[in-house]
A and B are shown apart, each in its own frame.
Chain A
Amino acid sequence: DSGVTQTPKHLITATGQRVTLRCSPRSGDLSVYWYQQSLDQGLQFLIHYYNGEERAKGNILERFSAQQFPDLHSELNLSSLELGDSALYFCASSVRWGAGEKLFFGSGTQLSVL
């Protein structure tokens, strides 16, 4: 058990809908990262938050947004969903931020857009 908690584990929804994925980092970790994993693209970095502030953005669509709350949990909001958004979404946490930090991953949320 990595100590990173993601909910829900599975999510099935329809095109055009909006969903929220939730992540609780390991106790004491200030950094939260979101990654998307699909069969053809592998793990793709979406966004990074450190202690409530956005620190880096990757290949995150404008339809997607995230935030980190004062209690350090994070939410990833996906709107106007398309079939191609179906994927595994992982949250990871680390103590600090910066190059070389080891990440601890949650078990992921499997999103299916029908």
Chain B
Amino acid sequence: EDQVTQSPEALRLQEGESSSLNCSYTVSGLRGLFWYRQDPGKGPEFLFTLYSAGEEKEKERLKATLTKKESFLHITAPKPEDSATYLCAVSRNSGNTPLVFGKGTRLSVIA
């Protein structure tokens, strides 16, 4: 069974204090690893898709990386508006399998 584990569950940072969120996964044949951002009371918003180990993608203060067992979401010099829950999800490389999500990391950035 596909599994996605995110850590830490919650993270509190000072504005400007860089850090990383972890997503460990177990999947039979990874097709893609997805990162989403979810604000309170809203649906998840797509950030990145990574397809192969060694791939990296960046968007503003966020950079996502992928290895064969885990992905990291690096946040450089975060701002209070980066506060949200960050979700990781995987899709399998066979059939019509839906995205399997982790439980997320709740990030709070304090000014």
Which chain A residues have a beta carbon within 8 Å of chain B's beta carbons?
2, 4, 33, 35, 41-43, 45, 48, 55-56, 58, 90, 92, 97-108
Contact = CB atoms under 8 A, between A and B. Distances in A.
B42 A97 contact: no
Q: Which 10 A-B pairs have the closest CB atoms?
A: A105-B43, A42-B103, A99-B31, A43-B101, A45-B98, A100-B32, A99-B91, A100-B31, A105-B44, A56-B96
Contact of A103 (B42, B99, B102, B104): B99
Contact of B96 (A90, A99, A104, A106): A99
Interface of B: 31-32, 34, 36, 41-46, 49, 51, 87, 89, 91-104
Contacts of A100: 31-32, 49, 51, 91
| Of B42, B44, B51, most A-chain CB atoms within 10 Å | B44
Given A42-B104, A104-B46, 6 more contacts: A42-B103, A99-B31, A100-B51, A100-B91, A103-B46, A107-B42
Nearest to B87: A43
Given A42-B103, A90-B43, A107-B41, A99 B49 contact: no
Contact of A102 (B42, B49, B95): B49
A56 to B, nearest CB: 5
10 contacts: A2-B45, A41-B103, A45-B98, A56-B97, A99-B31, A99-B32, A99-B96, A102-B34, A103-B44, A108-B42
Contact of A99 (B36, B41, B94): B94
B105 to A, nearest CB: 11
B34 A99 contact: no
Given A99-B91, A102-B46, A42 B34 contact: no
A35 B45 CA distance: 14
